[in-house]
Amino acid sequence: MGRMVLAALGEREEVATLTAAVERPGHDAVGREAAPGIVIGSDIDAALLLCDVVIDFTTPESTAATVAACAERGVAAIVGTTGLSDADRAALARAAERVPVVWGANYSVGVNLLATLVEQAARSLGLDWDLEIVEAHHRGKRDAPSGTALALAEAGARGRDVKLREVARTMRSGDVGPRPRGEIGIVAQRGGDVVGEHTVTFFGDGERIELVHRATSRAIFARGAVGAALWAVGRPPGLYSPTDALDIGRG
């Protein structure tokens, strides 16, 4: 994703300039050039002195520390890290009291529009329609279900005005009994080099509705993150979503 973000920045060089690149201490990339004249370092505090906004696609542990440093320096943060714990999310919320923070599992325009449609459909169809989400990713992805699948499930829960943690089912095995009314099922598939596929199905009696998004390039996530970075600079402190930053669902 770092390389993809660099490429996306190159597409927007008339409005955005790379000023620093950071990797964890000891990483092989430290000391190399990320771009002409930009050497990859390992000191986030030094990097923050040079920029208006940070784009972070790393690990939960690194993200929490980076966003806290952004808050100290008054720098906006764009976070695409998935697998965040409740404590990590709380760290983002604290930082958002001081700087604009955009956090989302997916910065694709299509996925964020899909989430808007899922919420609308869940609100319109109600509990009489069963809601299931199936996601597929490459064999190397570590977290499951994907952050995007969980975000889509959250959208469905919002549409139904329920708490996802009270209705989510991420695994079925053995005699699980009849499907409870209002349950939201989430299934993860892993294999090959799949960039990302998400299918949201509403099952009714005698009919069903399927909403599908297929990503064929990771470049879409990087372009969305760069777009969110341009949007975030100058915004008031707050915790925003990619849907906010990409201006989706307001037409």
Q: In this structure, what token pair is assigned to residue 41?
A: 């370092």
Q: In this structure, what token pair is assigned to residue 121?
A: 């459909």
CA distances from 1 to 21, 55, 208, 219 (A): 13, 10, 35, 8
DSSP H helices in 74-135: 86-95, 109-125
Catalytic residue among 137, 138, 163, 198: 137
* Per-residue model confidence (pLDDT) at position 210: 98
The reply to whether 163 belongs to the active site is no
The predicted-structure confidence for 199-235, as pLDDT tens digits, reads as follows 999 999 999 999 999 999 989 999 999 999 999 999 9
Predicted confidence (pLDDT) at residue 251 exceeds the cutoff of 50: no
Q: How many helices and strands, by DSSP H and E, does the chain display?
A: 9, 12
Round to whole Å and give the CA distance between 3 and 73: 25
Round to whole Å and give the CA distance between 148 and 26: 30
* Cβ atoms of 149 and 135 closer than 8 Å: yes
* Per-residue model confidence (pLDDT) at position 246: 85
Domain 109-215: CATH architecture, name and number where available: 2-Layer Sandwich (3.30)
> Could you tell me the residue ranges of all domains in the chain?
2-103+218-245, 109-215
pTM: 0.81
Round to whole Å and give the CA distance between 149 and 112: 11
Predicted confidence (pLDDT) at residue 87 exceeds the cutoff of 50: yes
* Per-residue model confidence (pLDDT) at position 180: 96
The predicted-structure confidence for 163-197, as pLDDT tens digits, reads as follows 999 999 999 999 999 999 999 999 999 999 999 99
Four-way CATH pick for 2-103+218-245: 3.10.450.50, 3.40.50.300, 2.60.40.2470, 3.40.50.720: 3.40.50.720
Question: Could you tell me the pLDDT band of residue 1, with boundaries at 50, 70 and 90?
Answer: confident
Round to whole Å and give the CA distance between 42 and 28: 11
Question: Could you tell me the pLDDT band of residue 249, with boundaries at 50, 70 and 90?
Answer: low
* Cβ atoms of 157 and 184 closer than 8 Å: yes
Catalytic residue among 138, 141, 163, 213: 141
Domains 2-103+218-245 and 109-215 share a fold: no
Question: Could you tell me the pLDDT band of residue 74, with boundaries at 50, 70 and 90?
Answer: very high
Mean pLDDT of the chain: 93
Round to whole Å and give the CA distance between 154 and 145: 13
> How large is the average pLDDT for residues 122-141?
97
Round to whole Å and give the CA distance between 60 and 92: 11
The predicted-structure confidence for 60-72, as pLDDT tens digits, reads as follows 889 999 999 999 9
